[in-house]
DNA sequence: TCCTGCGCTTGAAGCGCTTCAAATTCACAC
DNA sequence: GTGTGAATTTGAAGCGCTTCAAGCGCAGGA
């Protein structure tokens, strides 16, 4: 067609010119400050904007305002597979809920670069107003990064000492494990094993510690040989359980550091023809959706992941708004979910 | 402390000044065009940048370059709960994998605003270089939006007619359902029901159509009373199966439009004391992680979600790079996963 | 000595927007 | 007719960066 040219995206300047007003006037009106202008001017600008299909360029706006209305969700390389990471997706649900309602968006930053210096430049590049560190691992360069930035920041799923100056939000691992162990003891179990999570996660360490402490509190000896495993995944639970079942002496119950481990453990039992809970009782942690659907349904502790995400989002917004960092730890306690994977020992 | 003041983030201008060079020189060097300058200049600028902890402001860079290295993932309000949306998380995994490797990040845009005009301004606000529409629903304002923008765009999880001018990537629903139905027929089933997905999803419609067509192709009558349901969730499958089981005559097998429906259906059977697969066979679609873990393990069709996400990412990057839109449909076929939820009918 | 060409550097323009001091207009009282 | 203050509007500065025409210094050739 004659005269057609690549229609460039209309800018504020164009709208202003077409409407016969200055750029400042157009800016005011199109960003909602209509009370500064006469109804006629407002209407003129608005109608031109509509006709031209004007959409404000948020990048330009962000450059001036120095804020982007975007929150970065920083994921360790090990976590970037969402489908394997129920925790991450649950937290994101909570985040989306709070932040979305406040007009914030999420930017997923999956780290590939692990050199602390470039890592830090990559994250704090002006495109986010705050960051959620999703389950940072012990020793992660992420933690070091924080020393160099003033970006508001919340840690979710890991709990670090105050000295690191983070605000940490997580489930109360110690409390949850205590619930589970006490339940087992109450059901008559005294021979209890534990399948651990990875030793780079603070929650895994806390869960193991809580396991030991609770047994000790009840005067039950801790059998080191029955403490196995080093992964939060099903495969890890499967292998650890296999190893456990090969020992000359077996516990009557096994506490798993999370549900996936428990699932793997149950699989290992099934494979060996060992029935759960008749021959061995198993408990989990998290209460993931599958937990109630497997056979037998898993006794576990609910992990209020969604609330955690929600609270983390709120805490982050608070930091952003007040402009001052927040420190400390906030733990969410879960309740025991009794299902059928634990047998009551009589006699 | 005396003399301390809020350390502002160093800018290019500051680095340039400290290094005694012009802003242009500093820009060149810090964005990698070191070959334009003498090694001494390069080193001087680099060392000042390092000392000052300079991090380029990507917002400013984006304003000039008109590109942000960010891809928007647009989610319908109905989909924003990741934990209920295995499809979405799987696709995101694939996206993160391709895009992350190419230096792109994901921005999650969860729609709350459904007025087409503002919706459109919200998405195409200059902060993304392209968009992935995650399972847009039939009749969604998202589709209309596309008419007004030149933003590169890929639809995932829904297949729309060419006329809408999208490039659509999805699993091959028709092929998958055909596999499942043929397997049932091969196992001797002739009385087959179908539990549908929601009628706002193109895949649900295709699956139902494929179900009907396959039966017809084998000369098996389609019993309308046995076609029930309208949701992809477990609860929907549960309810639909309950309704089905109340009918005077029951099918010997039920094809479910996805795995979650099948899980709900199995739950309904269990509750009524109807054993699967002895009394009724059930099949799913997707092969979600739980599918192999429930009792009985579910016969289903693998849905290559990760590949879909991966390919969608690649297609989007291609559009961005070539600067021209891509049209058409790309379907990924899945294979039949035979497990134990289907019984072979003899005689 | 002057000119040419090359390598390196400079500095201003501009990306699209917000902000704000200053200018303009207008109604109304004196 | 003049002055005043309030209501509107203007236009330039600037956010931090990239880009690019122009400038500079210098070596080599005429």
For residue A1, what pLDDT is reported?
A: 34
Does residue B64 approach strand D to less than 7 Å at its CB?
yes
pLDDT tier for residue B3 given thresholds of 50, 70 and 90: very low
> Integer distance in angstroms from CA A61 to C1' C17?
5
Helix axes A39-52, A23-30, angle to 10 degrees: 80
Residue position matching structure tokens 């005011």: A28
Spatial separation of the C-alpha atoms in residues A259 and A285, rounded to whole Å: 5
> Quick check: A59 and A106 in contact, CB under 8 A?
no
Spatial separation of the C-alpha atoms in residues B204 and B229, rounded to whole Å: 11
The yes-or-no verdict on residue A7 having pLDDT over 70 is no
Spatial separation of the C-alpha atoms in residues A329 and A250, rounded to whole Å: 38
A24: the nucleotide nearest its CA (via C1') is D10
Please provide the DSSP assignment of A63-74 as one string.
HHHT--SEEEEE
- For B110, the closest of A81, A100, A126 (CB atoms) is A100
Instruction: Tell me the pLDDT of chain A averaged across its residues.
Output: 92
The yes-or-no verdict on residue A146 having pLDDT over 60 is yes
Nearest CA in chain B to A79: B93
The yes-or-no verdict on residue B104 having pLDDT over 80 is yes
Contact residues, chain A, for B293 at CB < 8 Å: 263, 267, 290, 293-294
Mean pLDDT for the stretch of residues A90-94: 91
CA A320 to chain centre: 19
For residue B83, what pLDDT is reported?
A: 67
Q: Which two tokens stand for residue A168?
A: 């940490």
Q: Which two tokens stand for residue B195?
A: 């539990």
> Quick check: A170 and A203 in contact, CB under 8 A?
yes
Helix axes B23-30, B39-52, angle to 10 degrees: 80
- Tens digit of each residue's pLDDT (9 = 90 or more) over B113-147: 667 778 888 899 999 999 999 999 998 888 887 77
- B290:A295 CB<8 A: no
Q: Tell me which H or E stretch contains B106.
A: strand B105-110
Helix axes A12-19, A39-52, angle to 10 degrees: 120
For residue B47, what pLDDT is reported?
A: 95
Please provide the DSSP assignment of A54-94 as one string.
----HHHHHHHHT--SEEEEEE-GGG--GGG-HHHHHHHHH
Interface test with A, best of B9, B68, B126, B148 (most A CBs within 10 A): B126
Cβ-based neighbours of B25, under 8 Å, separated by 6 or more:
B16, B37, B41, B45
Between CA A78 and CA A88, with CA A82 as vertex, the angle to 5 degrees is 85
For residue B7, what pLDDT is reported?
A: 63
pLDDT tier for residue A254 given thresholds of 50, 70 and 90: very high
Does residue A6 approach strand D to less than 7 Å at its CB?
no
Instruction: Tell me the pLDDT of chain B averaged across its residues.
Output: 92
DSSP strand pairing (B300-301 vs B336-337): antiparallel
CA B31 to chain centre: 34
The yes-or-no verdict on residue A110 having pLDDT over 80 is yes
> Quick check: A177 and A207 in contact, CB under 8 A?
yes
Among A143-147, A236-240, B274-278, where is mean pLDDT lowest?
A143-147
- B120:A55 CB<8 A: yes
Beta-carbon count within 10 A of B201 CB: 23
For residue A295, what pLDDT is reported?
A: 86
Mean pLDDT for the stretch of residues A122-139: 93
Beta-carbon count within 10 A of B23 CB: 14
pLDDT tier for residue B347 given thresholds of 50, 70 and 90: low
- Tens digit of each residue's pLDDT (9 = 90 or more) over A211-245: 999 999 999 999 999 999 999 999 999 999 999 99
B10: the nucleotide nearest its CA (via C1') is D16
For residue B293, what pLDDT is reported?
A: 86
Nearest CA to CA, how far is B221 from chain A (Å)?
A: 34
For residue A2, what pLDDT is reported?
A: 33
pLDDT tier for residue B1 given thresholds of 50, 70 and 90: very low
Among A84-98, A330-344, B14-28, where is mean pLDDT lowest?
A84-98
B134-163: b (≥16 Cβ within 10 Å) or e: bbbbeebbbbebbeebebbbbbbbbbbeee
Q: Which nucleotides of D are covered by protein (CB under 7 A)?
A: 7-21
Q: How deeply is B116 buried, as exposed, middle or buried, from its count of CB atoms within 10 A (0-12, 13-18, 19+)?
A: middle
A107 pairs with which residues across the strands?
A: A72, B107
Helix axes A305-322, A86-101, angle to 10 degrees: 40
For residue A163, what pLDDT is reported?
A: 77
Which residues lie near nucleic chain C, judged by CB under 7 A?
Answer: A 8-9, 11-13, 23-24, 27-28, 30-31, 54, 56-57, 60-61, 63-65; B 20-25, 28, 36-38, 40-41, 60, 63-64, 66
Spatial separation of the C-alpha atoms in residues A145 and B53, rounded to whole Å: 12
- For A83, the closest of B86, B107, B109 (CB atoms) is B86
Q: What share of chain A is helix, strand, coil (3-state, %, to 5)?
A: 45, 15, 40
pTM: predicted TM-score of the whole model, two decimal places: 0.90
- B124:A55 CB<8 A: yes
Q: Which two tokens stand for residue A15?
A: 């709208």
The yes-or-no verdict on residue B6 having pLDDT over 50 is no
Task: Identify the residue with better confidence: A194 or A9.
Answer: A194
CA distances in angstroms from A159 to A208, A302, B197, listed in the order given? 15, 18, 42
Q: Which two tokens stand for residue A192?
A: 């209890």
pLDDT tier for residue B85 given thresholds of 50, 70 and 90: confident
């Amino acid at each position: 067609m004659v005269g057609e040219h690549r229609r460039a995206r209309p800018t504020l300047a164009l709208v202003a010119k077409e409407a016969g007003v200055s750029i400042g006037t157009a800016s005011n009106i199109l960003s909602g400050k209509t009370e500064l202008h006469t109804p006629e001017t407002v209407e003129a600008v608005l109608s031109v904007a509509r006709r031209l299909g004007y959409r404000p360029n948020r990048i330009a706006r962000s450059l001036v305002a120095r804020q982007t209305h975007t929150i970065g969700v920083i994921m360790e390389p090990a976590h970037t597979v969402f489908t394997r990471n129920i925790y991450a997706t649950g937290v994101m649900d909570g985040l989306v809920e709070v932040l979305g309602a406040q007009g914030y968006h999420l930017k997923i930053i999956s780290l590939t670069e692990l050199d602390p210096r470039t890592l830090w430049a990559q994250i704090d590049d002006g495109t986010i107003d705050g960051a959620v560190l999703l389950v940072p691992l012990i020793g992660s360069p992420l933690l070091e990064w924080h020393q160099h930035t003033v970006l508001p920041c919340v840690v979710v799923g890991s709990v670090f000492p105050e000295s690191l100056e983070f605000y940490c939000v997580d489930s109360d691992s110690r409390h949850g494990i205590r619930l589970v162990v006490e339940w087992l003891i109450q059901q008559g179990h005294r021979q209890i094993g534990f399948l651990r999570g990875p030793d780079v996660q603070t929650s895994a360490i806390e869960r193991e510690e809580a396991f030991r402490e609770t047994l000790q509190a009840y005067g039950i000896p801790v059998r080191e040989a029955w403490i196995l495993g080093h992964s939060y995944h099903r495969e890890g639970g499967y292998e650890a359980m296999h190893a456990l079942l090969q020992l000359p002496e077996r516990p009557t119950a096994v506490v798993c550091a999370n549900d996936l481990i428990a699932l793997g453990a149950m699989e290992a039992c099934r494979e060996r023809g060992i029935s759960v809970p008749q021959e061995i009782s198993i408990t989990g942690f998290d209460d993931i959706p599958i937990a109630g659907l497997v056979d037998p349904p898993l006794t576990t502790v609910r992990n209020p992941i969604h609330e955690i995400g929600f609270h983390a989002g709120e805490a982050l917004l608070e930091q952003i708004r007040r402009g001052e960092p927040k420190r400390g730890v906030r733990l969410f306690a879960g309740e025991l979910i009794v299902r059928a994977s634990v047998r009551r020992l009589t006699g």
